[in-house]
Amino acid sequence: MLNRLLFRIAPFVCLALLANVVDPAFAGPPQGWDFMPLDKALKVAAKEERRVFLYFGRHGCPSCEKTNRDSFSDPRVIEHYKKHFVLAYGDSESGKRLRLGTGERITEMELGVKLKVFGTPFFYFMEPSGKPIVRAPGYQSAEEFLLFDRYVNGGHYKEKTLAEFRAAGA
Amino acid sequence: MKYLIAVFAFCLPVAAESAGWRFEQPQELTPQGVGGHFHHLDGAGRRHVAAGTGGIAVTWEDDHSGAPQVYVVIRLNESNGFPARYQLSNGEEAYEPAIVSAGPGRWLAAWEQDENVVARFIDAEGPGPATVLAEDGARQVTLAGDDAGQVAAVWARDRSAGQLLESASLRIAGRAVELAELAVSVAPLQSHAYQGYPTATWVPDGRLVVAWEDRRAGHTRLFYSSRKTGGAFVAERQLNEHNEPPPDEALDVRLGSGVMRVMLSTDTGGNVRAIWLDKRDAASGYAVWGAASADGGRSFGTNAIVQDDLGSAVAQWHAALAGGPGGFVAAWDDTREAWGDESESGDVIISAQEDASWSADLVVPVASGEGYQGSPAVALDQNGVLHLVWISREDLSAPTRLFYTRAHREH
């Protein structure tokens, strides 16, 4: 159902405007990565025809910090994700505003409501158009992120489910 | 799963009956625009509906003019509907309004507008002139009003070291809102990197009790404090109890389970309640938790979950709180009745507190069903009548509609 919801909002989001940053949150995406608000990321993705990797976290989230330390510090993950994806980040408690392509201007917290982010971290992979590809809730190891990269960037999602991809030896 | 659905189907009507509310037919507060637009009931303290002895006022933000702006409708006691609708904001963009009663037939509203906090007085003649309460990155304003017309505002404001809260009492001079004093800090910023989303309520001895989100520890905690007008806020105390990471994730960092959007209210007996969204049970997302104070907000008791077990499997959002005669009413939205519904809908839920515990949850009959019905705000008037506003949309991306109803307790 979440994929259906993402599918509905994605075309609107991809036409979005720049975010108005108003909430000086502290914890968040890993240091040294170039994450941006989702609306800006989708605009860049559409222009550059690159897929989007959305990281939905929360200020002070233990599993987010564990992911940052364990997985986003891995040189292979850094190299592949920076090369293959436009990176987006949202905070499920933040009052930062972003504008959807429908024209609706909402906070990142409200985006979390729309995306049913019941826990963090929550990761989404999207087409350059914003169409959802696959999502990954909860902590992910570096190996898992590399598997997602192979599945998405290799275009395997067009022919196989993630489970089929795993079963085939990924 | 089928068994659980059957249990839901059997139990919910019982809960609704036991909750003892009789709802009137809802009224739509704004005409539906061509092509649709988006209403939002969003803001610190969720003070979007105010019930005074002279009538009802509702404030919200929508973009039907082409940009987000803030509006108000008022209904005087002798009116059947809401005949008067006014645009309050007059800048490029405006968000997150709050409104409180400021005496019979009088209201005061405040909102964020172009990085300022702006306020206006409203009565049957319409709004008075706009007054800027705070500039330079001010936002997240909330208001507290009492029966005597006493009004205070609390807002967040950028500072070089982060974001802090300021508060000031307000007065109405003619039809204009004025700061009755210089704004004071709610809590020192020195070790407070971020204070935000305040909520405030008056207590009978004339103190203003304030609660807020605080990120100084590297994760969000809730704090509260109070002061008498003209005085300083007392040292803040923590409101939420649970903020340590689970043992298996004992990282060498300062982290917590997640809390946000605290609400405060006072009943006619002077009791104070706080509720907020709390993710201490991470498996089901945010739930509504609360705490009670019997000493006018000087201290709060043990945290207690607000919603009943039927809501434990889904996340709760947009918690709101009202106090009045006979106790408190909490409202929120969740998807407990959406299993198998591909529209991912939510419904408005309420729970009433009259003694020590919260009632069984009631899925509001006129704010549930197909599509999304959520983002509620509530107020109780002097007769204990519940006033409820909420957003309705076909799904979470569709254009919105804004509704109001009132409900009487059935004894």
pLDDT tens, B338-392?
Answer: 765 555 679 999 999 877 889 999 999 999 998 999 999 999 999 999 999 999 9
Contacting residues for B9 by C-beta, under 8 A, at least 6 apart = none
Tell me which chain A residues have a C-beta less than 8 angstroms from the C-beta of B245: 62
Measured between alpha carbons, how far is A63 from A120 in angstroms, rounded to an integer? 7
- Does the beta-carbon distance from A119 to B196 stay under 8 Å? no
Instruction: Mean pLDDT check: name the lowest of A9-18, B104-113, B196-205, B240-249.
Output: A9-18
Mutant choice from B70, B112, B140, B215 vs A, greatest count of A C-beta within 10 A: B215
Q: Which helix (H) or strand (E) holds A153?
A: helix A142-153
Domain range holding A75? Answer: 2-167
- Find how far residue B71's CA is from the centre of its chain: 17
- Does the beta-carbon distance from A62 to B251 stay under 8 Å? yes
Measured between alpha carbons, how far is B411 from B402 in angstroms, rounded to an integer? 29
Q: Reduced to 3 states, what is the DSSP secondary structure of residue A89?
A: strand
Would the pLDDT of B18 be above 50? no
Torsion of CA B44, B45, B48, B49, to 10 degrees: -170
Band of the pLDDT at B5, cuts 50, 70, 90? very low
Measured between alpha carbons, how far is B95 from B72 in angstroms, rounded to an integer? 13
Instruction: Give the domain CATH number at A79.
Output: 3.40.30.10
Would the pLDDT of B394 be above 70? yes
Tell me which chain A residues have a C-beta less than 8 angstroms from the C-beta of B282: 119
Q: What is the pLDDT of residue A26?
A: 44
For chain B, list the domains and their CATH numbers.
2-409 (2.120.10.10)
Size of interface A-B (CB pairs under 8 A): 106
Backbone angles phi, psi at B262, to 5 degrees: -75, 145
Q: For chain A, how are helix, strand and coil distributed in percent, rounded to 5? A: 40, 20, 40
Looking at the 3D structure of chain A, how many domains does it have?
1
pLDDT tens, A36-83?
Answer: 999 999 999 999 999 999 999 998 898 899 999 999 999 999 999 999
Q: Tokens at residue A18, please? A: 């720049």
Q: What is the pLDDT of residue B76?
A: 92
Q: Does A63 touch chain B (CB under 8 A)?
A: yes
Q: Residues A157, A162, A165, A169: is their CA dihedral positive or negative? A: positive
Would the pLDDT of B247 be above 70? no
B366 touches B30 (CB < 8 A): no
For residue A73, what are the CA distances in angstroms to A45, A65, A67, B248?
24, 11, 9, 21
B181 touches B229 (CB < 8 A): yes
pLDDT tens, B305-346?
Answer: 999 998 888 999 999 999 999 899 999 999 998 765 555 679
Q: What is the pLDDT of residue A15?
A: 31
- Does the beta-carbon distance from A25 to B194 stay under 8 Å? yes
Contacting residues for A85 by C-beta, under 8 A, at least 6 apart = A50, A51, A52, A53, A125, A153
Q: How high is the mean pLDDT of chain B? A: 89
Q: What is the pLDDT of residue B411?
A: 72
- Angle at CA B80, nearest 5°, toward B79 and B83? 70
Backbone angles phi, psi at A80, to 5 degrees: -70, -45
- Find how far residue B369's CA is from the centre of its chain: 23
Q: Does A33 touch chain B (CB under 8 A)?
A: no
B153 touches B165 (CB < 8 A): no
Q: Tokens at residue B26, please? A: 């809802």
Measured between alpha carbons, how far is A48 from A86 in angstroms, rounded to an integer? 9
Q: Name the packing angle between helices A38-48 and A2-13 (round to 10°).
A: 70
The predicted complex's ipTM stands at 0.90
Tell me which chain B residues have a C-beta less than 8 angstroms from the C-beta of A137: none
Give the DSSP per-residue string, B315-367. Answer: -EEEEEEEEETTEEEEEEEE-TT-TT-TT---EEEEEEESSSSBPPPEE-GGG
- A119 closest CB neighbour out of B38, B253, B285: B285
* More confident position, A50 or B4: A50
Q: Does A96 touch chain B (CB under 8 A)?
A: no
What percent of chain B is modeled with pLDDT above 70?
90
A29 touches A60 (CB < 8 A): no
Tell me which chain A residues have a C-beta less than 8 angstroms from the C-beta of B317: 113
Q: B338: left (phi > 0), else alpha (psi -120 to 50), else beta? A: alpha
Would the pLDDT of B8 be above 80? no
- Does the beta-carbon distance from A95 to B197 stay under 8 Å? yes
Q: Which helix (H) or strand (E) holds B405?
A: strand B400-409
B108 touches B145 (CB < 8 A): yes
Band of the pLDDT at B92, cuts 50, 70, 90? very high
What percent of chain B is modeled with pLDDT above 90?
73
Q: Tokens at residue A90, please? A: 């949202």
Q: What is the pLDDT of residue B4?
A: 42
Backbone angles phi, psi at A147, to 5 degrees: -65, -45
Stretches in chain A below the pLDDT threshold 70: 1-27, 170
* Amino acid symbol at B1: M
Band of the pLDDT at B275, cuts 50, 70, 90? very high
Tell me which chain B residues have a C-beta less than 8 angstroms from the C-beta of A110: 42
- B255 closest CB neighbour out of A9, A62, A117: A62
Measured between alpha carbons, how far is A114 from A125 in angstroms, rounded to an integer? 16
Q: Taking residues B116-125, report their average pLDDT.
A: 97
Mutant choice from B219, B240, B401 vs A, greatest count of A C-beta within 10 A: B219
